[in-house]
Amino acid sequence: MKAFEGAPVFAAEVRSEGDYGPKAEREMAQKRADYFAAGTLVIWDVDLLAAAVVKVYRASDKANPLIFRRGATAAAEPAVPGWTMPVDDLFV
């Protein structure tokens, strides 16, 4: 089996303890830019420590993520049509 060539249409980044602070934010922004440049349509930034639990970045509006908190259902449109996930399920 060969490695997949190209970018995923949907990516989810789950933050670890080292993914906080100004330097980490710049690195994560650069990683998102790289994903979008390669053709990714939607990126989830899953932050298990912050009040804003899932930020959903879309290639069509990179600077304005949608915010999904506990009790909400996050979506991966338009990358994965119809696919959603309750944010609370990230804590099971």
pLDDT at position 90, please? 87
pLDDT at position 74, please? 96
pLDDT at position 7, please? 86
Binning pLDDT at 50, 70 and 90, where does residue 32 land? very high
- Whether the Cβ atoms of residue 45 and residue 76 lie closer than 8 Å to each other: no
Q: Which domains does the chain have, with CATH numbers?
A: 10-91 (3.90.1570.10)
pLDDT at position 6, please? 81
Chain segment 48-87, per-residue pLDDT in tens: 887 779 999 999 999 999 999 999 999 999 999 999 999 9
